[in-house]
Structure 1
Amino acid sequence: MSGVTNGPALPADWASAFVDGELTIGGIPASRLAARVGGTPFFAYDRARVAGRVAALRQALPASVDLHYSLKANPMPALVGYLGRLVDGFDVASAGEMKIALDAGMAPERVGFAGPGKSDAELRQAAAAGVIVSLEGQGEPERLHEAGRAVGCRPRVMVRVNPAFDVRAGGLRMGGGPKPFGIDEEDVPALLRRVAALDLDFAGFHLYWGSQSLDAARIAEAQEQAMSAFLKLAAVAPAPPRLFNLGGGFGIPYAAGDPALDLPAAARNVAAAAARLAQQLPDARLIVELGRYLVGEAGVYVCRVLDRKVSRGEVFLVTDGGLHHHLAASGNFGQVVRRNYPVAVATRPIDGPRETATIAGRLCTPLDVLARKAELAVAAPGDLIAVFQSGAYGASASPAGFLSHGAAPEILI
């Protein structure tokens, strides 16, 4: 009995992590972890699960493909430092993330800095550090050139392409149509001429078409079109491209009915893209950039039941956690139709007495719900609640200042 109504079943590997009636994370009971971090709520990330995911990808992908981690998924410094020993590079989207990546020991030429709206100060820092800046603003080549002159170096650049093709593969579309991200594909040749005139160190192209896709066939379609765009643009590049960042888009299941991504099929797609690149540009490297797929399933958010109440026949477990720490699990302030993440009472046997209950936070909004009408072990004040699939877009993507309860600690196990 590891499932929840209106939500997904508890992942089998997490179900097996219940020992003597309590969830263990990295082999440590949840209650002991709570004591270690000074109480609840907290996020815990299991390094063995992260390493296992990277190993599975390494086994499935061709050795010629570089694997990058996107810090936007989870920039916790200890986690980034650990991943730095497992992946080939990092992708960042701010000066803060860039500092974390470099502090982790990643070589600057293996760090890509993407994102719209980079400030002049960020461009100067990126140029001085020697990271590769993905150009995605019409004025960025000139601004980066000036940044390089200010710090006395020749900046490294890629061009982020907003593709002309319609992107259907991602749960979250980051390319195709009018977008603030990247340079429209039809405008890239003119921008490349400016890159050449400014003598920027051109490294290659970046095309991030979307994220959180569970459909390997649609990922393949997007990647095939991306490679076609890359190879067409390579013909007008100011220098032979050294790097092609294909993005990633690999998703993880969150809710009932979500299938797991077919990794072998997705890897075959990447292998086909790598073979195509090797045939036409044998000196270039293909990059797959992943975030949540590497860390999402390795994380757990743990909070404590403060109160148990019944309102017109419905059981509510009111916790010290909520949307201020885990906005995505609550439904992003109602921006999406919320569906339960996998949840469990971490301090009760999963095969014991059960009931249907709603897990609510303590914020003054009806949107502060972590699970609605979920089938759970019968819980009481003091019990711990675990929200799984919480390793990505959790602590750093949530409004921790809302109602001033404070941020949740994070721990790498």
Structure 2
Amino acid sequence: MLQFRTEGPDLIVAGQPLRALAASLGQTPFYVYDRALLQQRSQALRAALPAGIQVHYAMKANPLPAVVACMVGLVDGIDVASAGEMRVALAQGADPQHMSFAGPGKRAEELRAAVEAGVLVNVESFRELPLLAQASQALGRPARVAVRVNPDFELKGSGMRMGGGPKQFGVDAEEVPRLLGEMGRLGLQFEGFHLFAGSQNLRAEAIGEAQRLSYELALRLAADAPAPVRHLNLGGGFGIPYFPGEQPLDLAPVAANLAELQERAGRDMPEAHLVLELGRYLVGEAGLYVARVLDRKVSRGQVFLVTDGGLHHHLAASGNFGQVIRKNYPVAIGNRMDEPATESVHVVGPLCTPLDLLAERMSLPAAQEGDLVVVYQSGAYGASASPQGFLGHPGCLEVLV
């Protein structure tokens, strides 16, 4: 588990006290991402995985250009989910030959942009095929395609199920042979398969099972492919611990399982390289969200720390507009790290809704106006996944240090 260190009362970020960082930025709230921790996570993952397993960064997790530029130097490829993300990735030096584009409902102009750039398109429906063929003919270059498969299984215990059952994602496995035939008829450049069963999973055995089932399904479908499989994206699903009692993912059994699949692939699909698509796991623990206490209120015996940030910047920490059973992310008072937790408080934002809640009945040191509230595990699905225009409050800064 990645950790920010402390020094006396201060949380240390990229070698400097949090208070000094906040003063240099000149405002709160802000997200801060630690470059050294991004590198540490990538290096640890590389050391654990078998050589030859490729790692792609799913930039939907954090599309800040500075973060993307950092990740381009740490991973083998970038996975995007829109033409907007594709433009950012290309501008930050990503190699289009090692970039893939997934997502339902791709617009014709997005598909054309991907073909023009030479990006691999993960096809999600029959509708995309003639659009890709038209773009290929107009541009005079083959459209690189893979099939995103909606498998007939789910990633057990995942935070979000992306495959299995009826889904808007990918092509149902039973329809893939017909899609492959159409790809061949249209002359598209088939390269492989993309299977993503689920996300945010901390159970190595569940991830291993999903990877094995994904491999076996891809191997069966390859019999109908118009060309050999060169690219097999087994998805990701690697989670990070957010809540009390959760333990970091044990990479050892995941790596052992991948080594077995890699050995099988050498026999079954000798031209294929195996790919992991990871977002949250690579960046989630390397980020903090920092807000300043504006008011300390006591209401009928309960303490409320009212901050200048909240739901509009960090929707996930607030509980996604009440759509999930809310649990507290790890929270601290970043300038009182050496003080004991002496009181139970609610940390809330400035919005006119009771859902604007960053911490509920959490034990923290006694905080006062001007103190800095820190939400850990905030490097993924933070600012870009939050309704920053809600109620017209100021947006937040994002910095990579």
Amino acid across the alignment from 2:91: D
Match of 2:247 in 1: 259
Q: Does 1:340 align with 2:328?
A: yes
**Structure 1 stretches lacking a partner, 5+ long:** 1-10
User: Partner letter of residue 401 of structure 1?
Assistant: G
Report the counterpart of residue 362 of structure 2 in structure 1: 374
**Which one-letter code corresponds to 1:27 in the other structure?**
G
Pick aligned residue for 1:56 from 34, 44, 48: 44
**1:369-391: per-residue Cα shift (whole Å, max 9, x none)?**
00001111110000000000000
SS of structure 2 residue aligned to 1:195: helix
Q: Is the 8 A contact 1:343 1:386 kept in 2?
A: yes
Q: Summarize deviations over 1:49-82 as a string: whole Å, max 9, x none.
A: 1111111110111111100000010001001101
Given the alignment of the two structures, is residue 13 of structure 1 paired with residue 3 of structure 2, yes or no? yes
Please state if 1:136 is matched with 2:113.
Answer: no
Give the counterpart letter for 2:108 in structure 1: D
Residue pair 1:356, 1:376 contacting (<8 A) in 2 also: yes
Number of the residue aligned with 1:222: 210
**1:277 & 1:124 partners in 2: Cα distance?**
32
Superposed displacement of residue 350, structure 1: 3.2
1: CA distance between counterparts of 2:2 and 2:107?
A: 45
Equivalent in the alignment of 1:6 = none
Give the partner amino acid of 2:302.
Answer: E
The 5 Å alignment of 1:188-337 reads 188-337=176-325
Quick one: structure 1 residues 39 and 67, their matched pair in 2 at CA, closer, same or farther if it must change by over 3 Å?
Answer: same
State the SS of the aligned residue for 2:289: strand
What is the Cα deviation at residue 169 of structure 1? 4.4
Aligned to 2:67: 79
Q: Which residue of 2 aligns with 1:118?
A: 106
Paired with 2:345 and 2:98, the residues of 1 have a C-alpha distance of 47
Within 5 Å, which residues of 2 pair with 1:23-172? Answer: 23-172=11-160
> Is the CA contact (8 Å cut-off) linking 1:202 and 1:238 kept in structure 2?
yes
Contact 1:124–1:150 (CA<8 Å) still a contact in 2?
Answer: no
Once residues 170 and 197 of structure 1 are traced to their aligned partners in structure 2, the CA distance between those partners, rounded to angstroms, is: 37
Q: Using structure 2 for the length normalisation, give the TM-score.
A: 0.98
CA RMSD of aligned residues (A): 1.2
Mapped to 1, the partners of 2:337 and 2:286 lie a distance apart of 21
Distance 1:68 1:311, change over 3 A: same
Q: Which residue of 1 aligns with 2:399?
A: 411
The 2-side partners of 1:133 and 1:269 are apart by 27
Task: Find the aligned partners of 1:340 and 1:253 in 2 and give their Cα distance.
Answer: 12
Alignment check: 8 A CA contact 2:153 2:197 kept: no
SS in 2 for 1:13: coil
Overall identity of the aligned pairs, in %: 55
Query: What amino acid is the match of 1:146?
Result: Q
SS in 1 for 2:3: helix
Q: Distance in 1 between matches of 2:157 and 2:90?
A: 32
Deviation at 1:353, TM superposition (A): 5.9
Whether 1:402 and 2:397 are equivalent positions in the alignment is no
Show structure 2 runs of 5+ residues with no match.
none
